[in-house]
A and B are shown apart, each in its own frame.
Chain A
Amino acid sequence: MTDPLSKFATATEIAGAVMSKKVKASAVIDATLKRIAAAEPTVNAFTDIVAERARKRAAEIDAGNHRGPLMGVPFAVKNLFDIAGLPTRAGSKINVDGPKAARDGALVRKLEAAGAILVGGLNMGEYAYDFTGENAHYGPSRNPRDTTRMSGGSSGGSGAAVASGEVPLALGSDTNGSIRVPSSLCGLFGLKPTYGRLSRAGSFPFVDAFDHLGPIARSAEDLALSFDAMQGWDPDDPVCTDRPSDPTLPRLIEGIDGLRIAIAGDYFARGGEPEAFEAVATVAKALGASKTVVLPQAAAARAAAYVITAIEGGQLHLPRLRARPQDFDPDTRERFMAGALLPGAWYVKAQRFRRHYRANVLKIFDEADIVLAPATPCTAPKLGQVMMKLGGVDLPVRANLGLFTQPISFIGLPVVVAPLQRPGGLPIGVQLIAKPYNEQAALRVAAFLEKQGIAAAPPA
Chain B
Amino acid sequence: MADDKPDVARLVDEAAKALGLPIAPEYRANVILNYERSLMIARPLLEVELDDELIPGPVFRP
Q: What residues of chain A have their CB less than 8 Å away from a CB belonging to chain B?
A: 209, 297, 299-300, 302-304, 306-307, 310, 318, 321-322, 325, 333-335, 337-342, 346, 348-356, 358, 396, 399
Contact = CB atoms under 8 A, between A and B. Distances in A.
**Of A302, A353, A358, most B-chain CB atoms within 10 Å:** A353
Contacts of B19: 318, 340-341
A346 B54 contact: no
Contact of A355 (B12, B43, B48, B55): B55
A350 B45 contact: yes
Interface residues of B, number: 33
Contact of A399 (B37, B44, B46, B47): B37
Contact of A351 (B15, B27, B58): B58
B27 A346 contact: no
Interface of B: 11-12, 15-16, 19-24, 27, 30-35, 37-38, 41-48, 50, 54-58
A339 B21 contact: no
A322 B20 contact: yes
A300 B31 contact: no
Nearest to B57: A355
Contact of B50 (A322, A335, A353): A353
Contacts of B33: 334
Contacts of A307: 38, 41-42, 45
Pairs of residues from A and B, 3 with the lowest C-beta to C-beta distance, nearest first: A338-B34, A351-B56, A303-B45
A355 B48 CA distance: 13
Nearest to B60: A238
Given A322-B20, A339-B38, A349-B50, A334 B58 contact: no
A246 to B, nearest CB: 22
